[in-house]
Structure 1
Amino acid sequence: MPFSLRGGVSTAHSIDGMVLLDERAGRYWQLNATATLVLRALLCGASPGEVAKRLTGNHPELSVEQADRDVAELLAALRRAELVMP
């Protein structure tokens, strides 16, 4: 399922990741480099499972199960903040 940023959410690159601005609520969200990689992949159409597999390729010490949980937690947080939509 592809995801997109909700209207009124803008992005800016930072030294160590990305900043999301929810213009409607006036809130900023700082994403680290890994969260930025996850969000970009999801926005490009990758599934959460595919993103988790990519993470384990970049971080061999990370289990697929943990990567799945991490991606799901980030996606849930972005949804709760109403920053992304399917």
Structure 2
Amino acid sequence: MFTYLSCPRNVLHISNQLLLGGLALLVVGVFVAYGYEGRLSLPTLVAAHAGVILGPTALKIGYVMRLIAHYNLNKAQALAC
């Protein structure tokens, strides 16, 4: 696993997936938690509100991973010149 994450392109790919997943989780969570709150059961609403919390968390982690990947790609490119 650590060898896979040592390549900046792999980290960039994972960060893009994490950004998209976090955005999807946030959007679905908001629509379910605040759009259908009268029609759903309590465990479903709790899961939707958890998505509202975990979605932005995934977005932040994905963004930091993306920054790290771009930094390492630029550093590797500068060393090659």
Q: TM-score range by the shorter chain?
A: 0.3 to 0.5
Greater relative contact order (Cα < 8 A, sep 6+): 2
Structure with the higher fraction of residues in helix conformation: 2
Q: TM-score normalised to the size of structure 2?
A: 0.35
Q: TM-score normalised to the size of structure 1?
A: 0.34
Structure with the higher fraction of residues in strand conformation: 1
